[in-house]
């Protein structure tokens, strides 16, 4: 079992803390407002501090990324297709507040 900014990860489960869940809810509401079909996306939640070799004070955040899937049989980047445009959210781990939104490529 390991603990991160967003909760606890076990061999077969993830327990999200309240701030992460609130951030995920807010990010989803913002994403839904774009009109894109959620079924065409995968959702990635990352503890930026844990994923950085030499973390600084700005790395104490959670990121939630809605990653556009590739069209079956098509090569290229996730955003290089008609299924949608990926969106990356930066979330405060203590409050779940969205600190930034970036369209990704």
Is residue 90 within 8 Å of 23, Cβ to Cβ? no
Domain that holds residue 25: 18-103
Note the pTM of the prediction, 2 decimals: 0.78
Query: Do the domain assignments include residue 86?
Result: yes
| Number of domains within the chain | 1
Query: Do the domain assignments include residue 52?
Result: yes
Helix (H) or strand (E) holding 28: helix 18-32
Query: Do the domain assignments include residue 70?
Result: yes
Closest CA to 6 of 101, 100, 95: 95
Query: Do the domain assignments include residue 55?
Result: yes
68-75-104-86 Cα dihedral, nearest 10 degrees: -10
Q: What is the pLDDT of residues 29-58, one digit of tens each?
A: 999 999 999 999 999 988 877 666 676 777
Higher-confidence residue of 58 and 13: namely 13
Q: What does residue 62 show for φ and ψ, rounded to 5 degrees? A: -110, 140
pLDDT at 87: 93
Query: Do the domain assignments include residue 69?
Result: yes
Query: Do the domain assignments include residue 37?
Result: yes
Query: Do the domain assignments include residue 32?
Result: yes
Q: What is the pLDDT of the chain when averaged over all its residues?
A: 83
């Amino acid at each position: 079992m390991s603990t991160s900014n967003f909760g606890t990860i076990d061999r077969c489960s993830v327990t999200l803390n309240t701030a992460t869940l609130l951030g995920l809810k807010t990010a989803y509401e913002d994403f839904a407002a774009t009109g894109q079909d959620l079924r065409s996306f995968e959702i990635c939640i990352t503890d930026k501090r844990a994923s950085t070799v030499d973390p600084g004070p700005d790395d104490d955040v959670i990121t939630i990324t809605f990653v556009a899937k590739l069209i079956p049989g098509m090569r290229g980047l996730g955003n290089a297709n008609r299924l949608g445009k990926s969106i990356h959210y930066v979330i405060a781990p203590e409050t779940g507040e969205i600190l930034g939104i970036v369209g990704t490529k």
